[in-house]
Structure 1
Amino acid sequence: MGPDGTTSDSPGAGGSVAGDRLERVRPIAVVIALVAGAYVAQIGFARSGIDVTGPLPSLGWYLVSIAAPFAVASVAYFAYRGSITVPIRRPTRTEAATVVGGIVAAYLVYTVYVIVVTTVAPSFAHFGGEAESPMDGISSVAIGLVYVLVFSIVTVFLEELFFRGVLQGYLQNSIGPLVAIGVASVCFAWFHVYFLSFASPAFVGGMVYYTAMGTVFGVVYERTRNLTVPFLVHAGFNAGPFLIVFATMI
């Protein structure tokens, strides 16, 4: 008999055990549902057969087919929680320093990856398996600015909202920060390489690269609990190639 007057066979004890099991399973079930929903939506758009040509229409289709599922999944999560639970605020000076450090760390990850796949293990390069480079459609500064808006601001915000704000934020409160960063980073990587053959070295290389990159974003989010910080780190990293293209056009 326990201190509350129930025994291990009593309904009260059974309900408590069942409730504990439900609380342990709930975070996993929620994450699987959110990730699966976004994945199914992206696959559905990819297999819709819609053919879009031209830089601006292609960007619009990209927003609808790739970025929008993250927004929908995030909204579904907020509806499930009953409130918006993601902290977004203006960075402090300390957080601004974290942004700079995060961008440097992201470029270090990228540099190490490029060195490895160009000198040691070229078969693990995932870039060649991706569709078209975002920079291929830039023919003017004006078009380039639209590309920056889409790839370095809108898409980055929706990715950070979903992977860091929703997935990592939910798991860090229910399971712990290390597991939360790891799970969110692996999911982040998956959405960047799932179109590759799972058995290919390129898939493995892409998973390692994007998991490492997601870990950088996840760590700065864990340190600050401010979604603006990983957003600025991610946006700053993504903007680099566009700035190089702009420099060659001036």
Structure 2
Amino acid sequence: MVELPSTLTTVQNRLGNKAGFARTGAFLALIVSATIVLNLVASLAVVTIIGSDAGSTVTFIAGATGTELSFLLIGVGYLRYRTTFDLPIQQPDRTTASYVLAGLVASFVTAFVSLGITDVLLPSIEFSPGYMKYTNLNTPTGPGLVLAVVLSLTVIGPIEEFFFRGLIQGRIEAVLRPTGAIGVAGLTFALFHVYPVLLLSPPPIVIAHMTVYYSLMGIVFGWVYHQTDTLLAPVLVHGVFNAVIFTIPLWT
């Protein structure tokens, strides 16, 4: 009889955990499905509005803007539904700056190892064509590079970190340990960068590589967010990283 309250509490905790996992799984499935649909709608709208003769740079900038707006709309819609959801946006301090620097170093190491594998090693053994063909990172040219840099710092970095780290990682942390939440958010980040490439029918090795690469990048951003507890930190890492990567054609 003495053990009954303890046993009852354990059962209640397990049931609560299962319910939490179920709700979080439903949240993730709904958010991912709705965002993919809105991504596709945004892409079709961009193609319809600007036409097929707009040029690669204009198409890239317009398409990226449409995609980011779809992330923003879904994220804001969820926050209006869950008014108690917390998004930490404290002002960065010295400790935050050290994690931002570490995140940038980890991001660039991951990116350059990735580019070395896909643009040097794999093509040399005829496994796949270069990575740049499937990422569109070399699409902007001339003034488009400047626009891409501005877009990275003011739109892509802030909105994607709000969506993937602030919203998805933050929501998943309610039921998973931080490492699990970072991993799931990283995989979700990879999904949204890989599924558009599937329309180009790339070799399986390209899909596998991009999944690993973007998952690792998402994990880096997620780790920075967890360590600093402010969304501004991964926003800085993501925005600066993208901005530098877009300028590669200027210094290679």
TM-fit CA distance, 1:190:
1.0
Partner Cα distance (2:98, 2:16) in 1: 43
Report whether the alignment pairs 1:234 with 2:238.
Answer: yes
- Mean Cα deviation higher: 19-28 or 70-79: 19-28
User: TM-score under structure 1 normalisation?
Assistant: 0.81
Judging changes above 3 Å, is the alpha-carbon distance between structure 1 residues 199 and 59 closer, same or farther for their aligned structure 2 residues? closer
Question: What is aligned with 1:208?
Answer: 212
- Mean Cα deviation higher: 165-174 or 76-85: 76-85
User: Residue type matched to 2:61 in 1?
Assistant: L
Identity of paired residues, percent? 30
User: Residue type matched to 1:147 in 2?
Assistant: A
Partner Cα distance (1:180, 1:127) in 2: 29
Report whether the alignment pairs 1:59 with 2:61.
Answer: yes
Question: What is aligned with 2:193?
Answer: 192
TM-fit CA distance, 1:19:
6.0
TM-fit CA distance, 1:155:
1.3
Judging changes above 3 Å, is the alpha-carbon distance between structure 1 residues 205 and 246 closer, same or farther for their aligned structure 2 residues? closer
User: Residue type matched to 2:69 in 1?
Assistant: A
Partner Cα distance (1:90, 1:78) in 2: 21
User: TM-score under structure 2 normalisation?
Assistant: 0.80
Partner Cα distance (1:221, 1:16) in 2: 28
TM-fit CA distance, 1:76:
1.9
TM-fit CA distance, 1:174:
2.1
Q: Indicate if the aligned counterparts of 1:126 and 1:205 stay in contact, CA closer than 8 A.
A: no
SS in structure 1 at match of 2:230: coil
Judging changes above 3 Å, is the alpha-carbon distance between structure 1 residues 211 and 57 closer, same or farther for their aligned structure 2 residues? closer
Q: Indicate if the aligned counterparts of 2:60 and 2:140 stay in contact, CA closer than 8 A.
A: no
TM-fit CA distance, 1:32:
1.2
TM-fit CA distance, 1:59:
2.3
Question: What is aligned with 2:78?
Answer: 77
Aligned pairs (5 A) from 1:44-193: 44-48=41-45, 50=48, 51=51, 53-54=54-55, 55=57, 59-64=61-66, 66-83=67-84, 85-122=86-123, 123=127, 125-130=130-135, 132-133=136-137, 136-140=139-143, 144-193=145-194
Report whether the alignment pairs 1:25 with 2:27.
Answer: no
Runs of at least 5 residues in structure 1 that lack an aligned partner in the other structure: 9-13
Q: Indicate if the aligned counterparts of 1:126 and 1:203 stay in contact, CA closer than 8 A.
A: no
User: Residue type matched to 2:101 in 1?
Assistant: V
Partner Cα distance (2:13, 2:108) in 1: 49
User: Residue type matched to 1:59 in 2?
Assistant: I
TM-fit CA distance, 1:218:
0.6
Deviations 1:179-233 (A, max 9, x none): 1111110110111111224872111110011001111101111111111111111
User: Residue type matched to 1:37 in 2?
Assistant: A
